[in-house]
Amino acid sequence: MNYIKIFITLFAVLCSGIFSGTVSAQFKQTILFVPHDNRPISFGQTVDNIKALGYNVITPPQELIGNRDDLGHPEALQKWVAENAGRADIAVLSADSLVYGSLVASRKHDIPADVLQQRAVAAFADLHKKYPYLPVYVFGSIMRTPQTNAASSEEPDYYRVYGTMIARYTALLDKQEKDGLTGKEKRELANLKKSIPESSLNDWMARRAGNFEVNKYLISLAKDKSIAYLVLGCDDNAPYSQTDKERRELDQFAGDLNGTTYQSVAGLDELGMVLLTRTVNEMEGDIPFVNVHYAEGKGADTIPAYSNEKIKDSVKTHIKMAGGLQVNTDKRANFVLLLNTDKDGVTYAANDLTNTTAPRANTASFVDMVGKYLKEGKNVGIADIDFGNGSDNALMNLLWQKDYLAKLKAYAGWNTPTNSSGYAISMGMLSSYTDQNGTIKMLMPRYLDEWLYQANIRQQVANKLDSFKGEGDYNDTKTRTAQAQDYATTLMRQDVMKYGLDKFPDEMALDKLEVRFPWHRLFEADVVIPAADATTVTTTASGK
């Protein structure tokens, strides 16, 4: 008998009783969830995954949640949470939504520091006073540092002009603190300081300082147990960056809390899914065991794009955050996670012309590893992080040819590599609470999103856009939106038939899907699938 597994599971059941008020729950419980924006990948799809397992997930009205244009309504959200938290067994809350309004708002707001502090008190300290026995899980962001002007779609306007210089300037300051600078780097630092307008740099750093103080306050609330579990995610950053500097300082401030009720991690958009998975594992009374393997080459030591740490460290942290335990043997694993990494540890862009179906150095061996574990009857999931913002076409083509797609327990390849690995870990854990048809319901949005749209259709629509009547471009489709939607719909329906995705269980309506661009840009594409009961299921492809 596996006595270690039995002991840990029993411990999890007892912990679950602490959170739910009973050791053996007789019914599925209620989770109150506030996302950091209204993108379905971090809101609707995530909530649907949890609801499909039989949990009651209550969420705020759509009009209160921030998006690309409406930066959110933090005071109204706080009021809604306070009025509805009494219905919940546990709450999973976005600090960005409740303090700033949304994730985007946290990057470009002009809110005075004292107002931010007041909001944080109202959102979390006052909530704990009103509901002292409600476990509150909080996820927030350490403000990102886009590395280039082009990557600054959600920053103040000056970042589109000086962003590359600001990122480099703060990277050198970080390197100076950690490792010291060469003479050449010292001169570069001085020149950058002269070249960046003082007003722009001051604005950026002042906003960061206000956000930093909010995060310190959240850590203080975790220390006094007003917050039961706190995660701070590092969106777009690098090993040398202002984001990495602030993460180190916050981790130091957390002290002994690190790794217990506080955790920082590379990645952000996946955190709602990760913490909801943690709540499900606790309510189910289980600690999933996860065994991890990487593609040949750099593998576990890859530092992927948009990250400041090796992927093996992010994976280990995500597993722990989701309520699981990483193990070193397949025999004890409930779930085997395989990470598709580039042989040389490089992250490419999924819409790049190099992303073809031609196998690369380690594609065949990786697919062989997938087949090996499937044949052994293992629960297998894939984090496809060779490319950013979409699937590896060579990998997906081989998985399709070998008929592996419908047999997986998890797959993700969206946005940043850490978004993908964290989401895949969560999917793999959740799959143990449903059958394969239920798992396919989680898989299908990922195949439509990462593979068909992000890695292929997105660029095809972009190439065709200028031939449409009216005005519009990649970042704002304007009067060309309807034509772009129609073209993307045609392409996706063709690909669904080509790869036989409509033959998957309960997926016959895929031939009637429609692609929409609700944010009027090609970064996101809602895929609306008619359901048999006349309702609709919406999946969203989210790019960077």
Cα 314 to Cα 267: distance, rounded to the nearest angstrom? 8
HEC string of 484-524? HHHHHHHHHHHHHHHHCHHHCCCCHHHHHCEEECCCCCCCE
pLDDT at 537: 44
Domain contains 392: yes
pLDDT per residue as tens digits for the range 148-160: 988 877 899 999 9
Identity of residue 49: N
Identity of residue 448: L
541 has a pLDDT exceeding 50? no
Query: Of the ranges 5-9, 223-227, 242-246, which one carries the lowest mean pLDDT score?
Result: 5-9
For residue 528, count other CB atoms closer than 10 A to its CB. 15
pLDDT at 152: 78
Domain contains 455: no
DSSP letter for 501, please.
Answer: G
1 has a pLDDT exceeding 60? no
Q: Indicate the pLDDT class of residue 508, thresholds 50, 70 and 90.
A: low
Query: Of the ranges 367-371, 516-520, 524-528, 532-536, which one carries the lowest mean pLDDT score?
Result: 532-536
Question: Of 234, 253, 284, which closes a domain?
Answer: 284
519 has a pLDDT exceeding 50? yes
97 has a pLDDT exceeding 70? yes
Domain count along the chain: 2
Q: Indicate the pLDDT class of residue 352, thresholds 50, 70 and 90.
A: confident
pLDDT at 26: 41
pLDDT at 25: 43
pLDDT at 68: 82
For residue 506, count other CB atoms closer than 10 A to its CB. 12
The answer for 299, left when phi > 0, alpha when psi is -120 to 50, beta otherwise, is left
Instruction: Examine the domain organization and report whether 251 and 325 are in the same domain.
Output: no
9 has a pLDDT exceeding 60? no
Greater model confidence, 102 or 524: 102
Element (H, E) at 238: none
pLDDT at 506: 75
pLDDT at 527: 87
Cα 312 to Cα 339: distance, rounded to the nearest angstrom? 10
pLDDT at 41: 87
pLDDT per residue as tens digits for the range 398-422: 999 999 999 999 999 999 999 999 9
Instruction: Examine the domain organization and report whether 96 and 52 are in the same domain.
Output: yes
Q: Domain residues for 245? A: 3-284
380 has a pLDDT exceeding 80? yes
Averaged pLDDT, 273-285:
97
Cα 292 to Cα 272: distance, rounded to the nearest angstrom? 22
Instruction: Examine the domain organization and report whether 258 and 199 are in the same domain.
Output: yes
Identity of residue 199: S
pLDDT per residue as tens digits for the range 182-239: 999 999 999 999 999 999 999 999 999 999 999 999 999 999 999 999 999 998 888 9
Q: Which two tokens stand for residue 214?
A: 């909010």
Domain contains 47: yes
Q: Indicate the pLDDT class of residue 500, thresholds 50, 70 and 90.
A: very high
Query: Of the ranges 71-85, 145-159, 220-234, 423-437, which one carries the lowest mean pLDDT score?
Result: 145-159
Q: Indicate the pLDDT class of residue 466, thresholds 50, 70 and 90.
A: very high
Domain contains 533: no
HEC string of 98-109? HHHCCHHHHHHC
pLDDT at 520: 87
User: Is-contact 317 307, C-beta < 8 A?
Assistant: no
Instruction: Examine the domain organization and report whether 218 and 317 are in the same domain.
Output: no
499 has a pLDDT exceeding 70? yes
Q: CB under 8 Å to 8, separation ≥6 — which residues?
A: 287, 325
* Alpha-carbon separation of residue 474 from 197, 460, 461, 522 (angstroms): 29, 11, 9, 6
Cα 204 to Cα 173: distance, rounded to the nearest angstrom? 15
Read off the CATH number of the domain in which 303 is found: 3.40.50
Greater model confidence, 354 or 538: 354
Beta-strand pair 56-58/30-34: parallel
538 has a pLDDT exceeding 60? no
Cα 59 to Cα 175: distance, rounded to the nearest angstrom? 42
Residue 318's φ and ψ, nearest 5 degrees, are: -60, -40
Cα 74 to Cα 66: distance, rounded to the nearest angstrom? 9
Mean pLDDT (the chain) is 91
By residue count, the chain amounts to 544
pTM here is: 0.92
What is the maximum span of the chain, computed from C-alpha positions, in angstroms?
69
User: Is-contact 516 540, C-beta < 8 A?
Assistant: no
Instruction: Examine the domain organization and report whether 263 and 390 are in the same domain.
Output: no
Question: Of 404, 434, 464, which closes a domain?
Answer: 434
Domain contains 307: yes
Instruction: Examine the domain organization and report whether 158 and 140 are in the same domain.
Output: yes
pLDDT per residue as tens digits for the range 443-459: 999 999 999 999 999 99
Domain contains 464: no
DSSP letter for 509, please.
Answer: G
pLDDT at 23: 33
436 has a pLDDT exceeding 80? yes
pLDDT at 7: 47
Domain contains 328: yes
Q: CB under 8 Å to 149, separation ≥6 — which residues?
A: 159, 160, 161, 162, 163, 164
543 burial via Cβ count (<10 Å: 0-12, 13-18, 19+): buried
Instruction: Examine the domain organization and report whether 197 and 303 are in the same domain.
Output: no
Question: Of 284, 312, 341, which closes a domain?
Answer: 284
pLDDT at 356: 96
* Alpha-carbon separation of residue 475 from 104, 156, 349, 391, 523 (angstroms): 16, 16, 17, 21, 7
Instruction: Examine the domain organization and report whether 279 and 294 are in the same domain.
Output: no
Instruction: Examine the domain organization and report whether 257 and 298 are in the same domain.
Output: no
pLDDT at 13: 42
For residue 356, count other CB atoms closer than 10 A to its CB. 12
Averaged pLDDT, 499-512:
86
Instruction: Examine the domain organization and report whether 66 and 52 are in the same domain.
Output: yes
Q: Which two tokens stand for residue 481?
A: 């939106």
Beta-strand pair 536-542/524-530: antiparallel
Residue 495's φ and ψ, nearest 5 degrees, are: -70, -35
Instruction: Examine the domain organization and report whether 24 and 118 are in the same domain.
Output: yes
Cα 255 to Cα 325: distance, rounded to the nearest angstrom? 22
16 has a pLDDT exceeding 80? no
Domain contains 310: yes
Averaged pLDDT, 31-50:
92
Instruction: Examine the domain organization and report whether 336 and 393 are in the same domain.
Output: yes
Q: Indicate the pLDDT class of residue 507, thresholds 50, 70 and 90.
A: low
